[in-house]
Structure 1
Amino acid sequence: MANMMDNAIMAAAQQIEKQLDQQLDKLDTMKTDDLQLLREQRLREMKELKKKQEEWIANGHGVFSELADEKEFFEVSKKSPNIVCHFYRDGAERCRIVDMHLKILAQKHIEARFCKVNAEKSPFLTQRLRIKVIPTIALIKDSKTRDYIVGFTDLGNCDDFSTEMMEWRIARSEVIDYKGDLMTPPDVKKSKPFINRVQKTIRGREDSDSDIDFSD
C-alpha cells in the first residue's frame, strides 16, 4: 500500500507539473497588457489545484483499495464527495475484470475515491444500497447514489470491454472529470441499439438517486 501511495503521489505531481508547463507556455505567447495579472491568476489556480490534489491523496484517492468494513465505508463517504464503489464477491471472474479497470482509473482520476466492498461481508450496507447483482458499482456524489453500473449490460454486455468504456460509463454520472463525448461510447464496436439502451437505463434503478445518510 505504501508503494501504491508513493506512485499515486508521483503521478499526481507529474500531472500537476505538466499542466503548469502547458499553462505557462500559453501565457508566454500572449502579448496583452494584462499578461502579468493573467499569469498570476493561472498560478493561483494551479496552486489551489495542487493543494486539492494533495488533500485527495491524503484521503486515499489515487489508488483502488478495499474497505475493511461498513464503518470504513461511511468514514470514507464523509471525506470524499465523489465515490466509485465496487460491490464484489470472492471468486467471481467478472469482479476481477472490474477490479482491473478500476485500478487503472483510480490513478487517472484522483478527484474520486475508488474502492471496493465485499458484499457478502457487508450485509447491512448491501441491503441499504439494494445491491442484488454482482458485480455492481455504486456511483456516489455528495452523499447521494447517483447511479449504479449493474453487471456488464451498460458496458457492451461483454467481458472484453475497454477501460475507456468503463471510464465513459462512470463519467455519465458526473463523479469523475471527463473530457470526451458523453453521448457516444468509446468502444467503436458498439452498435446503435446499444447506445440507445444505455441512454434509457443511465439512471440505473428507480431508487438510484435516493439519499444515503452517511452520518449513521
Structure 2
Amino acid sequence: MAANAMVEKQLIAATQIIEHQLDSEINRLDNLESDDLELIRRERLVAMKKRQEKKQEWLVNGHGTYSELYDEKEFFETTKKSDHVVCQFYRDQFERCRLVDKHLEILAKKHFETKFCKINAEKAPFLTDRLKIRVLPTICLVKNGKTKDFIVGFTDLGNSDDFSTEMMEWRIARSDVIEYQGDLMTPPSAKSGPKTEVYRKKTIRGKNDDSSGDDDSD
C-alpha cells in the first residue's frame, strides 16, 4: 500500500509539473500571438492604405474599363502610366478581334490592377512593324514599360474560337501582368482531366519568326 501511495504521489506531482509547463507555454504563445497579430494588423493597414492609393491612381489612368487607344503616342503614354498593360492589336473587319473584345471587357472589370485596351493596327503602322505583328488578333502584354509577351491568334487559347474567358485570363496570367490565384501550370479546361502540355512562357520584345503569317480574316 505504501509503495502504491508513493507511486500515486509521484504521478500526481509529475502531472502537476506537466500542467504547469503546459500553462506556461500557452501563456507564452498567447503573448507571442498577440504581438504577432498586432504587427500583422499594422502591416495590413499599411498595405491596405497603399492599395487604396494605388486604386485611385489606377482609376485616374482608366483601369477597370476596356478602352481604345487612337494612336501610337497614346500607346506609349499608357505603358508609362500603368505598370501592367494588356493591349489587343485589331482590325475592324476581323470577327476574331471582336471575340477577343468580349473577353477583355470582362477581364478589365475583374482585374483593376491592369490596364486593358486595344489599338487599330492600321492606325499604328510604326508600332505594328516594330513589334513584328503579322497575325491579328495579337494581344501585347506589357510589364513595367517593357513588352513581355504576345498572345498571337488563338493558338495558346485551345486553338478554337469558343475558348472561355477563364482560359484567356489564365494565358494572360502566365505572363505575370495580372493578379491570379489559380494554378498557372494547368489551364482551366484541363483541371478536371489529365494534365496537358501548357504554353511555355517566353520573354520577348517582338513576335518570333515562326509565328509570322497572314492576317487572320475569318
* TM-score using structure 2 length: 0.74
Alignment RMSD (CA, Å): 2.4
1:97 aligns with 2:96: no
Counterpart secondary structure, 1:115: strand
Contact in 2 for aligned 1:146/1:208 (Cα 8 Å): no
Map of 2:199 onto structure 1:
198
C-alpha distance in 2, partners of 1:130/1:171?
22
C-alpha distance in 1, partners of 2:127/2:104?
21
Where does structure 2 lack aligned partners over 5 or more consecutive residues? 1-29, 209-218
Counterpart secondary structure, 2:86: strand
Q: Deviations over 1:87-116 (max 9, x none)?
A: 000021110110000011111111111100
* Residues 39 and 117 (structure 1), Cα distance of their counterparts in 2 relative to 1, 3 Å cut: same
Map of 2:43 onto structure 1:
41
Contact in 2 for aligned 1:145/1:208 (Cα 8 Å): no
C-alpha distance in 2, partners of 1:152/1:172?
15
Identity %: 60
Aligned length: 177
Map of 1:19 onto structure 2:
none
Contact in 1 for aligned 2:149/2:205 (Cα 8 Å): no
Map of 2:75 onto structure 1:
73
Larger Rg: 2
Contact in 1 for aligned 2:141/2:177 (Cα 8 Å): yes
Q: Structure 1 residue 206: deviation in Å?
A: 8.0
Runs of 4+ in 1 over 4 A off after TM superposition: 189-193
C-alpha distance in 2, partners of 1:169/1:106?
15
Map of 1:166 onto structure 2:
168
Residues 56-205 of structure 1: matches in 2 within 5 Å? 56-188=58-190, 195-196=196-197, 198-199=199-200, 202-203=201-202
Amino acid across the alignment from 1:91: Q
Amino acid across the alignment from 2:151: I
C-alpha distance in 2, partners of 1:83/1:49?
18
Amino acid across the alignment from 2:143: K
Counterpart secondary structure, 1:84: strand
* TM-score using structure 1 length: 0.75
